[in-house]
Amino acid sequence: MMKKKLGEISDIVGGQITSRLEKKDVDDLFETGCVSGKPKLKCKADVLVPRAISNAFVDKSSLMTIICEKDSQSENETMDLTHFVDDNKITKDGTLVLKLSTPYDACVVTKEDENLIVSSFCATLAITDKNVDLFYLLAFLNSKLYRDQVENLAAGSAIPLISVGAIKDVQVPLPSKEEQEKIGKDFINTMKKIKLINKITALEAEKMNSIFYGMEG
C-alpha cells in the first residue's frame, strides 16, 4: 500500500502562543479602550485548547476565553480576529486540529467551529492532496498507528510535546479514495455513537444523583 508523509499531503501550522489565557468577560464582542491617551483595540475570543478536542469533535464547553489587545491607529478602525492572530491560526470549516501533547488525538472543524484561535499546544492541518479524504485522515490521526509513530518521534524529550516539524514526517497509509471514504464514514459514525453514549451516561448519572439528593428533603 502506498504511503506518504503527512507533510506531503497537507499544510500543518502550529497554533498561537497567547500570553493571556485566563477567563475574562467583556460586554461586547469588540470594544475600543484607551490607555494613556493611546487607543487600543480589544477583542473577546475563544481559544481551542487541547481539552476541547474530544472524540474527534470540538467540545465548545471546554473552550478558553481570552481578551486580545493591540494598539490602534484610530478609534474607528475596523476590527476582526485577524487583527490579532494570523489567519492560519484560526479555525476554518473542513480542516483538522491536532494535539501536540498526549494523547495526540485530533478533531475536525465544522462550520459551527470556525473563528476559534488555535492554542500553541495544537496545530492546524489543511489537506492539500485531492486524493486524501478528510474523514479518513481524521480517523488515522486518532488511531494507535499514528499515536505510536508520534510517541517514537517524541521519545527522549523531557516534555511529551511533539513539534510540527516532526509530525510532518509521520507516514500515512493511503488506500484507494473509495476505501478511504468508507473508513472515514465508519469512523465518524462510531464517534457520534460514543458521543451519544457519553451523553446518556452523564444524564443517567445526574438522574441517580438527584434521587439521593431528593432523599435529603
Cβ-Cβ contacts under 8 Å for 78 (sequence gap 6 or more): none
**Which pTM does this prediction carry?**
0.81
What is the distance between the alpha carbons of residues 63 and 68, in angstroms, rounded to a whole number? 15
Q: Is the dihedral of CA 50, 88, 32, 59 positive or negative?
A: negative
Lowest mean pLDDT among 137-146, 155-164, 168-177, 204-213: 155-164
Q: How does the average pLDDT of the chain come out, rounded? A: 85
Reference 10, options 100, 108, 129; nearest CA is: 129
Domain holding 88: CATH number?
3.90.220.20
Range of the domain at 130: 3-214
Measuring CA to CA, how many Å separate 95 from each of 136, 138, 184?
12, 10, 14
pLDDT digits 0-9 by tens, 108-140: 999 999 999 999 999 999 999 999 999 999 999
Check whether 77 has a pLDDT greater than 80.
Answer: no
Cβ-Cβ contacts under 8 Å for 211 (sequence gap 6 or more): none
For the residues 11-38, what does the mean pLDDT come to? Answer: 58
Number of structural domains in the chain:
1
Phi, psi of 202 (to 5 degrees): -65, -40
Give 78's pLDDT tier (boundaries 50, 70, 90).
Answer: low
